[in-house]
């Protein structure tokens, strides 16, 4: 791969596993120094070590995107050690499901804090320097749930719709600054989050794991789960030179499930 991001510093939140780890690795392959922000030191340090073993540049920063004080502290430490951030990938997320009448305030606030407010907090920490430099790339991991409605996931769905709205609004505000703001919207992917969804279906319905996975895969017209690398490929493209006109876009990586 051409080292087109050489000299750039990128933060990937939730970068220790799943889609986040795939994004971190591909950005490092393109030459970026990747700061893997994760609440799990084991996962984050493990991914950073793997990148370094492959010859890339990566460091771990402990990051809880739902805590404003910890977010500020983490980014302040990152700036002090590595300099300003040119690329921000807001990937950290969580999913819980329940019928709306059983969606209590704690679940609602948790989904908003992690999935939406966390994006706001991380953008707030990095955008001023991007604007001053006249360059920056922000890519938010939303979901097809940010583009359409799904039953029994009202809190998650609302939070991801919020990410889509924030992406579009921020893209318009920064349209003439050299900063682009986009989102990728994966369908059901081969991740731990989907694994937990399968386990939940098995537990509640008594169906086999195979049947549960097949039911989830039906959402995708291609009849399969999305691979994390496919999402990472889309994120990388949005960060590379030559995509300056791509801003305010929410790209569904979902096998045709959602067509804009």
pLDDT in tens, 167-214: 999 999 999 999 999 999 999 998 888 888 888 888 888 888 888 888
Which CATH number fits the domain that encloses residue 106?
A: 3.40.50.720
**Residue among 192, 188, 149, 166 at smallest CA distance from 112:** 166
Question: Would residue 82 show up in a list of annotated catalytic residues for this protein?
Answer: no
Looking at the structure, tell me whether residues 118 and 138 fall in a common domain.
Answer: yes
Task: Count the helix, strand and coil residues of the chain and give each as a percent rounded to the nearest 5.
Answer: 50, 15, 35
User: Distance of CA 12 to CAs 85, 89, 187, Å?
Assistant: 11, 5, 20
Tell whether 257 is covered by a domain: no
Taking only the tens place, the pLDDT of each residue in 111-132 is 999 999 999 999 999 999 999 9
Looking at the structure, tell me whether residues 169 and 193 fall in a common domain.
Answer: no
Give this prediction's pTM: 0.94
Looking at the structure, tell me whether residues 211 and 245 fall in a common domain.
Answer: no
Q: Around Cβ 151, how many Cβ atoms within 10 Å? A: 9
Tell whether 1 is covered by a domain: no
Residue numbers of the domain that contains 143: 9-187+227-252
- What's the number of domains the chain is made of? 2
Looking at the structure, tell me whether residues 122 and 210 fall in a common domain.
Answer: no
Taking only the tens place, the pLDDT of each residue in 136-168 is 999 999 999 999 999 999 999 999 999 999 999
Looking at the structure, tell me whether residues 132 and 237 fall in a common domain.
Answer: yes
Tell whether 34 is covered by a domain: yes
Looking at the structure, tell me whether residues 143 and 236 fall in a common domain.
Answer: yes
Which tokens is 118 given?
């966390």
Looking at the structure, tell me whether residues 94 and 220 fall in a common domain.
Answer: no
Looking at the structure, tell me whether residues 93 and 166 fall in a common domain.
Answer: yes
User: Which residue in 82, 135, 152, 156 is the catalytic one?
Assistant: 156
Taking only the tens place, the pLDDT of each residue in 2-53 is 789 999 999 999 999 999 999 999 999 999 999 999 999 999 999 999 999 9
Which tokens is 90 given?
């807001």
Looking at the structure, tell me whether residues 40 and 117 fall in a common domain.
Answer: yes
Tell whether 143 is covered by a domain: yes
Where residue 1 falls among pLDDT bands split at 50, 70, 90? low
């Amino acid at each position: 791969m051409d080292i087109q991001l050489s000299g750039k510093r990128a933060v990937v939140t939730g970068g220790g596993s799943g889609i986040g780890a795939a994004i971190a690795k591909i950005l490092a392959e393109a030459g970026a120094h990747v700061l893997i922000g994760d609440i799990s030191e084991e996962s984050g340090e493990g991914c950073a070590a793997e990148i370094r073993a492959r010859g890339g540049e990566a460091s771990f920063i402990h990051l809880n995107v739902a805590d404003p004080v910890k977010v500020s502290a983490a980014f302040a430490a990152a700036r002090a050690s590595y300099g300003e951030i040119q690329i921000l990938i807001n990937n950290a997320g969580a999913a819980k499901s329940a019928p709306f009448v059983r969606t209590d305030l704690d679940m609602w606030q948790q989904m908003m804090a992690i999935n939406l407010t966390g994006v706001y907090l991380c953008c707030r920490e990095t955008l001023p320097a991007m604007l001053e430099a006249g360059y920056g790339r922000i890519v938010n991991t939303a979901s097809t749930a940010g583009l359409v409605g799904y039953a029994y996931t009202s809190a998650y769905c609302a939070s991801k719709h919020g990410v889509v709205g924030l992406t579009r609004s921020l893209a318009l505000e920064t349209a003439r600054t050299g900063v682009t703001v986009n989102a990728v919207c994966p369908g059901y992917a081969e991740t731990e989050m989907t694994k937990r969804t399968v386990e939940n279906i098995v537990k509640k319905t008594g169906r086999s794991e195979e049947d549960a996975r097949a039911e989830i895969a039906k959402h995708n017209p291609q009849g399969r789960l999305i691979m994390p690398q496919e999402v990472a490929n889309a994120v990388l493209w949005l960060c590379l030179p030559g995509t300056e006109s791509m801003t305010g876009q929410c790209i569904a990586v979902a096998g045709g499930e959602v067509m804009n």
